[in-house]
Amino acid sequence: MPNSSQLLSVLDHIDADFDNSLARLFALLRIKSISADSAFANDCKMAAEHLAKDIATLGFAAAVRATAGHPAILATSNGKGSARPHVLFYGHYDVQPVDPLDLWHRPPFEPAVTDHADGRKIIVARGAEDDKGQLMTFVEACRAWKSVTGSLPLDITMVIEGEEEIGSKNFVPFLEANSNALKADFALVCDTGMWDRDTPAITTSLRGLVYDEVRIHAANRDLHSGIFGGGAQNPIRVLTRILGSLHDDQGRITLPGFYDGVKDLPPDILAQWKTLNLTPESFLKPIGLSIPAGEKDRLLIEQISSRPTCDINGIVGGYTGEGSKTVIPAQASAKISFRLVEGQDPAKIRKAFRDYVIARLPGDCRAEFVDHSSAPAIALDWNMKPLAAARRALTEEWGKEAVLMGSGASIPIVADFKKTLGLDTVLVGFGLDDDNIHSPNEKYDLKSFHKGIRSWARILAAFADAPAR
């Protein structure tokens, strides 16, 4: 067990070595590890090799491991103490595509520390937060423990994947095939956010996700709208008619059975959430909006974290270039995702969506579907013991009580850890709502990166002191 003077030395070392931590993060950020686009497959491999090599310097047996897709990294700390707690840390090195590139203020893979408009120092790059910046807070905390004390304060296995942004389809079989090597007392994930920039948080619920793509086919070729207009069906008309009816005037989703099994929040949690005072002014104004877009009879905080959603993430059909073209296209397509909450079955939601589309197709059109990903919602046990230790450590670092919150985002791997490895997960992260993850100009506050490293150093010490389960 570490003593408190060791922890203080580790924290001092983190402060002294911070410029080097930043340089190591930048080296990772320069690698274009976009998992969605096969043109970047080799960059994904490079990112995995880079990380494995770095983690091996911290006293881990670390290796790049092949999957059916982009590779994963598996690293096990040496010198296991039989009685020590053992955690499984998870992160992902893959990042989202960068388009529309013209909206970036800097090249997305040339990281820099710049000044935010309000004076904050920020790290700008694709992946600065999600998830390279976040995972490096943990790696750097391990490095500091190793540098100062010569060892880690507890046993750690790290598993870092390269397909989180595209649904982890090949990573889950990897977990199953390596379940022995991944044994631990519980899992840690650093891919979530703070409550606000001064208030740390632990995420205790996550929405699930069903992501589907639909392509409507009409004529066997593109048509001239003068010759055929009026007589020939237009697949964009069919697609907009179907997608435009997915929400009713009250902001509710119209798929039959969509809300089956969805429960209201327990009154005590709803009461706590009300005190957090998330308002359109605080949450929507920074992104240029003012009117909550979800169900009209729900609080905004419910709309974004405890209620299911439907979003059209992309749509394309016909002529989209400069000028005009009088075309009736042969096909049109859209990518649609549903955020799910506890009680909803992803398979049923996907089927309800596809049935809905098919029921509305004209008799001479057809629909094709692509299943992009699927994960149920997660509700973690608010009373698990490592949670209390992590909360205490976070509160000490930030000087403010760590909030237990629900997240609107999906981290499907948490369900897989439970199902495949039998592990509960503690979700701690240092992202902020204005980090522009998945958007142009992604950033990570320099403070998030610095105090994130310090937070993990404290959390590792707290876990070493606490009962594991």
Give CA–CA dist 178/88, Å, rounded. Answer: 13
Between 87 and 194, whose beta carbon lies closer to a copy of itself?
194
Position among 151, 178, 225, 272 found at the interface with a copy of itself (CB under 8 A): 225
| Candidates 152-160, 266-274, 284-292, 393-401; binding stretch for a copy of itself (CB under 8 A) | 284-292
Min CB(315)–a copy of itself separation in Å: 5
Please tell me whether residue 250 binds a copy of itself under the rule CB under 8 A. no
Query: How is residue 394 annotated by DSSP?
Result: H
Please tell me whether residue 294 binds a copy of itself under the rule CB under 8 A. yes
Please tell me whether residue 314 binds a copy of itself under the rule CB under 8 A. yes
Q: Which of 54, 8, 53, 21 is nearest to 148 (CA)?
A: 8
Please tell me whether residue 133 binds a copy of itself under the rule CB under 8 A. no
Please tell me whether residue 103 binds a copy of itself under the rule CB under 8 A. yes
| Candidates 32-40, 150-158, 256-264, 269-277; binding stretch for a copy of itself (CB under 8 A) | 32-40
Min CB(354)–a copy of itself separation in Å: 16
| Candidates 1-9, 218-226, 391-399, 446-454; binding stretch for a copy of itself (CB under 8 A) | 218-226
| Sign of the torsion formed by the C-alpha atoms of 398, 399, 404 and 408 | negative
Residues paired with 73 in a beta bridge: 64, 160
Q: Which of 465, 390, 455, 464 is nearest to 11 (CA)?
A: 455
Give CA–CA dist 427/379, Å, rounded. Answer: 12
Position among 170, 203, 204, 309 found at the interface with a copy of itself (CB under 8 A): 309
The upper half-sphere exposure of residue 3, i.e. CA atoms within 13 Å in the direction of its Cβ, equals: 1
Helix axes 18-29, 41-56, angle to 10 degrees: 150
Cis peptide leading into residue 131 (ω within 30°): yes
Give CA–CA dist 208/194, Å, rounded. Answer: 20
User: 352-371: which residues touch a copy of itself (CB under 8 A)?
Assistant: 362-364
**Site size for a copy of itself (CB under 8 A):** 102
Min CB(263)–a copy of itself separation in Å: 16
| Candidates 71-79, 115-123, 175-183, 232-240; binding stretch for a copy of itself (CB under 8 A) | 232-240
Please tell me whether residue 287 binds a copy of itself under the rule CB under 8 A. yes
Position among 4, 5, 220, 275 found at the interface with a copy of itself (CB under 8 A): 220
Please tell me whether residue 267 binds a copy of itself under the rule CB under 8 A. no
φ, ψ of residue 326 to 5 degrees: the values are: -90, 70
User: 37-66: which residues touch a copy of itself (CB under 8 A)?
Assistant: 37-38
Between 37 and 196, whose beta carbon lies closer to a copy of itself?
37
Between 253 and 402, whose beta carbon lies closer to a copy of itself?
253
User: 419-448: which residues touch a copy of itself (CB under 8 A)?
Assistant: 433, 436-441
| Sign of the torsion formed by the C-alpha atoms of 126, 127, 133 and 134 | positive
Q: Which residues are CB-neighbours of 109 under 8 A, at least 6 positions away?
A: 29, 30, 31, 32, 98, 125, 126
Please tell me whether residue 279 binds a copy of itself under the rule CB under 8 A. no
DSSP string, 126-152: TTTTTTHHHHHHHHHHHHHHHHHHSS-
Between 330 and 388, whose beta carbon lies closer to a copy of itself?
330
